Amino acid sequence: MATRSVTARPSVGRVLAWIYLAVIVLITLFPFYWILRTALSNNFALHTDAGSLLPVDFTLGAFKRALGLATVAEAQAEGGSGASLNTALYLRNSVIYAGVQTALVVFCSATAAYAFSRLRWRGREVVFSILLCALMVPAIFTLIPNFVTVKNLGLTNSFAGMILPGAFFSAFNIFFLRQFMLGLSSEVEEAATIDGAGPLRVFFRIVLPMCAAPIATLCLLTFINTWNDYFWPLMVTSDESVRPLTLALAVFKQASPNTAVDWAGLMAATLIAALPMLLLFVVFGRRIVNSIGFTGIK
């Protein structure tokens, strides 16, 4: 803001501040570079030159192992453990888990937010306050009973079991969208009503399109959170046919013996697990950055 013109002259403080920022950026970025550097190295060769800033004995072998494209013999020749990671399957699982969950919960939140902001009915504020109480309950407390529920429904080891608890209700999402919908002008809505549109039609044709930006924001945040979720999938799944990628990674690490961890393969897998989020970020970076500021202010 206006402070810029006053502080623009170079000063010791300013130089120090830039150095601080540079260090922060370096510490933030370096591990990402290190993942890439290790993933492009030969796992055996890593032992010979651990401190090299460039890939050691450059090879794409680690990616092949991580993607399950290498034979056991090939993998072991390059220092793999022989443990394979069916990345394509886990990627699919993650996409289903995060995708379906996001679509369902954002849609259900949008309909609820519409009812809580644009429709008039008795008990509206009371019901809304009760739902908001869920924000106070920490995840750990509901996890064990929810696990029992899912188990009793026979849904362990299924996508339904992973998705259901978070599919219909998110206090934060409803709150977030409601705040936005409250701020919409009612004139377009009234015009549509006079033209004979029912409230449901108003919702789909007018309110929903007007909320495209905050809905996109919520989709991104929900998708990131679900994609990175660890505890719940760990609890309800043991079968690899439904396990998401984050879990598979941890299992892959445990599978490799402690004496000779396949770090190159692990880092390749790590990169593959992080890649979808990084790509989302390249496409929607500005929106994510700004929306986090926005969700904070509320």
Partner 1 sequence: MVTATQETTTLPVAPVATARRRRTRPGSRRGHLPLALLLIAPAVIGFAVFFAYPTVQGIYYSFTDFHVLSAPNWVGLDNFKQLLADDVFWHSLWVTVYFVLLSVVFGILISLVTAVIMHRLTRSTLIRGIVLLPFLISGVVAAMTWSWMLDPGLGIVNSFLTKLLGHPVLFFGDSALAVPSLAAISVWKSMGYNAILIFAGLQTIPATIYEAGRIDGASELQMFRRLTVPLLRNILVMVVILTVIGSFQVFDIVQVTTKGGPQNASLVLQMYIYNKAFSQFDFGYAATMSLALFAMLIAITFTQLKMTRAGESDLN
Distance in Å, CB of 16 to partner 1, minimum? 9
Of 58 and 230, CB closest to partner 1:
230
Identified binder of partner 1 from the candidate list 143, 160, 208, 210, rule CB under 8 A: 143
Q: Which two tokens stand for residue 4?
A: 């810029």
Identified binder of partner 1 from the candidate list 162, 164, 211, 242, rule CB under 8 A: 164
Residue 196 binds to partner 1 (criterion: CB under 8 A)? yes
Residue 96, classed as helix, strand or coil, is helix
Question: Which of 205, 183, 188, 189 has the alpha carbon at shortest distance from 294?
Answer: 183
Of 69 and 251, CB closest to partner 1:
251
Residue 84 binds to partner 1 (criterion: CB under 8 A)? no
Query: Interface mask (CB under 8 A) for partner 1, residues 211-240, using x and -?
Result: -------------x--xxxxx--xx-----
Euclidean distance between CA atoms 264 and 261, whole angstroms? 9
Residue 9 binds to partner 1 (criterion: CB under 8 A)? no
> In angstroms, what is the C-alpha Rg of the chain?
25
Number of residues that bind partner 1 (CB under 8 A): 115
b/e sequence 13-46, b meaning 16+ C-beta within 10 Å: eeeeeeeeeeeeeeeeeeeeeebebbbbbbbebb
| Maximum separation of any 2 CA atoms in the chain, in Å | 77
Residue 10 binds to partner 1 (criterion: CB under 8 A)? no
Distance in Å, CB of 277 to partner 1, minimum? 4
Distance in Å, CB of 70 to partner 1, minimum? 20
CB 69 within 8 A of CB 265: no
Of 70 and 264, CB closest to partner 1:
264
Q: Which stretch binds partner 1 (CB under 8 A): 69-77, 83-91, 208-216, 260-268?
A: 260-268
Residue at token pair 């004979």: 196
